[in-house]
Amino acid sequence: MTKMLVATQNEHKLKEFNKILNHEQIKLVSLKDLNDKDDVIEDGTSFLENATLKACYFAKKHQMITISDDSGLVVEALNGRPGIHSARYSNGGDHENNLKVLKEMENMENRKSHFVSVIVLCYPNGRVKSYEGKVFGYLAQSERGLNGFGYDSIFYVPEYQKTFGELESSIKNQISHRANALKLLKEDIDEIVNNK
């Protein structure tokens, strides 16, 4: 059994990782499980840089294979905002972030947006691999649905005619940006398990 650290305090994220990765040879633990409240300053200029900073810091600290995800919402009409600032866009919580984006999008016709997730896997020796996933959709006019977290309630997926907040988690976990990145990571699981 290979233990892997997911560099997050976010229980929603850990739940998603567990559901999507779901591998009998891997046990995922979070920073919460290790009682590690350390915070890494994510001052990179891209999702990749931020995920790498976090994964490598905790891989070295705990001498454990670590995966970190940096993800966010990219809105075409807002020149890519909130982007890498998604989590702290309003300096409030998820609801405040959603309201800020919706306010900025008032009267905007182009509502194209996409979610990006970059997952970085870092070994204790500093070796790094990265995986990127995206999902495309549109911004809803208002918050809809209580499932998920982050910007899920304002991200509309035309194929399902629902926001991520209205989708069952079983469907979201097949089509989301994080799912797409984790599927790529999953392809490397055997190599990860055998080359610790």
Cite the annotated binding site for substrate by residue number. Answer: 8-13, 71, 149-152, 172, 177-178
Spatial contact of 57 and 64, defined as CB atoms under 8 Å apart:
no
The annotated binding site for Mg(2+) is made up of 70
What does DSSP assign to residue 82?
A: B
User: φ, ψ for residue 145 (rounded to 5)?
Assistant: 95, 150
Q: Tell me: cis bond preceding 82? Omega within 30 of 0 counts.
A: yes
Catalytic residues: 70
Sheet containing strand 112-122, strands side by side: 26-30, 2-6, 66-75, 112-122, 128-139, 155-157, 162-163
CA-CA distance, 130 to 23, in Å (whole number)?
Answer: 19
DSSP H or E segment with residue 17: helix 11-21
